[in-house]
Amino acid sequence: MATNLQTPAPYHNNFLREVEERVEEGEWVKMCMQCGVCAGSCPFGPHWEHSPQKIFMMIRAGKREEVLTSDAMWMCTSCYNCVVRCPRQLPITHIMHGLASYAHRLGLVPKGQPTHEFATMFWNNLAKKGRVNELKLTLALYFKDGLVAGIKTVVLAKRLNPMEIFGGHAIKDLKGFQAIIAKAREIEDKKQGLTG
């Protein structure tokens, strides 16, 4: 995967256009009227480096590196508070996810970002078998035994692969499932200018 802090050639330092064309739902960013309603909606709000409102302002101001290396998008819990409140009806949740995913594709995510790590493992786990399994059962046992010192520490200390807690039945047409993902990825990479 390319690590790329440079603005890709077609955008001539126009980060807004880059976002519009390459980030999921990015074409909505210009509709933001900076009212600030979303900024007060995030459950982890006090821990956000930049609120969605600020992120959208920074995109328009061309602060590419600051946006793509921000910790902010990774604090999104997908609660959709912002979406139902935004007077301009921006799909804020998906723009946040889209920015996070784009930063991931470009290799710009801050090292050790725990949600980034968990999210990547989650996807890789499901892509392997088609399903994520037994999450709750094992989790429940895990906590019942009083083992937990916060999954975060455990994950970061690499003492445990948290995906061990997902057991696994594979789907039958695993080959087909993986072929679908591969094809979809190929099309999307092309659109994002990450290949060819």
Q: Which does 17 bind (CB under 5 to 8 A by kind): another protein, ligand SF4, none?
A: none
**Cα–Cα distances in angstroms (integers) from residue 11 to residues 72, 110, 139, 193, 195, in the given order:** 24, 24, 46, 11, 16
In the complex, least distance from residue 25 CB atom to ligand SF4, rounded to whole angstroms: 12
Burial (CB count <10 Å: 0-12, 13-18, 19+), residue 37: middle
Least distance CB 86 / another protein (angstroms): 10
Question: Between the CA of residue 41 and those of 57, 79, 166, what are the distances in Å?
Answer: 17, 9, 32
Which residue of 36, 43, 87, 107 would you call a contact of another protein, by CB under 8 A?
43
Least distance from C-beta 48 to ligand SF4, angstroms? 8
130 binds ligand SF4 (CB under 6 A): no
Quick one: residue 97, left, alpha or beta (phi over 0 = left, psi -120 to 50 = alpha)? alpha
Q: Is 169 in the site for another protein (CB under 8 A)?
A: yes
50: helix, strand or coil: coil
CA 23 to chain centre: 11
- What residue 90 binds from another protein, ligand SF4, none (CB within 5 to 8 A, per partner kind)? ligand SF4
Report the site for another protein in 103-142 (rule: CB under 8 A): 104-105, 114-120, 122-124, 126-127, 130-137, 139-140
CB 191 to ligand SF4: min, Å:
24
**Which one of ligand SF4, another protein, none is in contact with 70 (Cβ closer than 5 to 8 A by kind)?**
none
The residues with which 167 forms a beta bridge, in sequence order, are 133
- In sequence order, the β-bridge partners of residue 133 are 167
Classify residue 49 by its DSSP letter. Answer: S
Q: Give dist(CA 56, CA 26) in Å, integer.
A: 10
> Burial of 10 by CB count in 10 Å (0-12 exposed, 13-18 middle, 19+ buried)?
exposed
Residues that bind ligand SF4 (CB under 6 A): 32-38, 41-43, 52-53, 56, 76-82, 86-88, 90, 92-93, 96, 132
Residues that bind another protein (CB under 8 A): 24, 43-44, 47, 75, 77-81, 83-84, 93-94, 97-98, 100-101, 104-105, 114-120, 122-124, 126-127, 130-137, 139-140, 143-144, 146, 148, 150-152, 155, 162, 167, 169, 171-173, 175-177, 179-185, 187-188, 191
